[in-house]
Amino acid sequence: KQEVTQIPAALSVPEGENLVLNCSFTDSAIYNLQWFRQDPGKGLTSLLLIQSSQREQTSGRLNASLDKSSGRSTLYIAASQPGDSATYLCAGRFGAYKYIFGTGTRLKVLA
Amino acid sequence: GAVVSQHPSRVICKSGTSVKIECRSLDFQATTMFWYRQFPKKSLMLMATSNEGSKATYEQGVEKDKFLINHASLTLSTLTVTSAHPEDSSFYICSARQLGEGTGELFFGEGSRLTVL
């Protein structure tokens, strides 16, 4: 059974800190992995998409890595800001239309 | 990135009524749209996958007759919650894949908060 797990479930950090969010998946036959941000009561905003042939993607202060062999992806946020406070979700694509979401990490960056 | 619009963003209805939620891809054609349901502080649960011009594929445990999905065009899919009950209250989110786009990137709508009284 394909599963996607995110640890930790919640995280509070002081402003300016660099942090890492983790995403694990059980099936190494992953097509791609996508990281999203969700603000309370809102939809999902795509942050980064990593194809199975790639090892990492970067956008501004965000860097996402993908290690298929170990079944892990990380989202690195540099110099965190209060505006980064949100829930971060990862989703793995395991088939043409099969996307499985993790349970998310609720991040709070304290000013 | 591509824009997906959902309407309405919030809806309150009485028990027993039906509610329709629209999902539109504004600047691209979507071969496939997905409908998710999200419970408070939980992840997204895929309800069904809809392809333009064909019947939706429902996930196990999702009632086809309660959650009617129509994908009438390459830019519009609708979810109708029929005879809604309080337990149907939830946050419903749609996503879309772009026609001919090979990365498989998903774009999401803003979600629709349904409250059934």
Q: Do B95 and A49 touch (CB under 8 A)?
A: no
Quick check: A1 pLDDT over 80? Answer: no
Quick check: B1 pLDDT over 70? Answer: no
| Encoded tokens for B100 | 């001919």
* pLDDT, tens only, A64-105: 999 999 999 999 999 999 999 999 999 998 877 778 899 899
Please report residues of A whose CB lies closer than 8 A to that of B41: 106
CB atoms within 10 A of CB B112: 24
* pLDDT, tens only, A47-67: 999 999 999 999 999 999 999
Nearest Cα residue to B80 out of B39, B38, B24, B21:
B21
Q: Which of A31, A101, A106 sits opposite B44 (nearest CB)?
A: A101
Sign of CA dihedral B26, A41, A6, A105: positive
Determine the Cα–Cα distance for residues A45 and A86; give it in Å rounded to an integer.
Answer: 11
Mean pLDDT of B87-93: 94
Please report residues of A whose CB lies closer than 8 A to that of B93: 43-44
Q: Do A44 and B95 touch (CB under 8 A)?
A: yes
Determine the Cα–Cα distance for residues A25 and A8; give it in Å rounded to an integer.
Answer: 14
Determine the Cα–Cα distance for residues B25 and B75; give it in Å rounded to an integer.
Answer: 5
Please provide the DSSP assignment of chain A as one string: ---EEEE-SEEEEETT--EEEEEEES-S--SEEEEEEE-TTS-EEEEEEEETT-SEEEETTEEEEEETTTTEEEEEE-S--GGG-EEEEEEEE-SSS-EEE---EEEEEE-
Determine the Cα–Cα distance for residues B76 and B8; give it in Å rounded to an integer.
Answer: 14
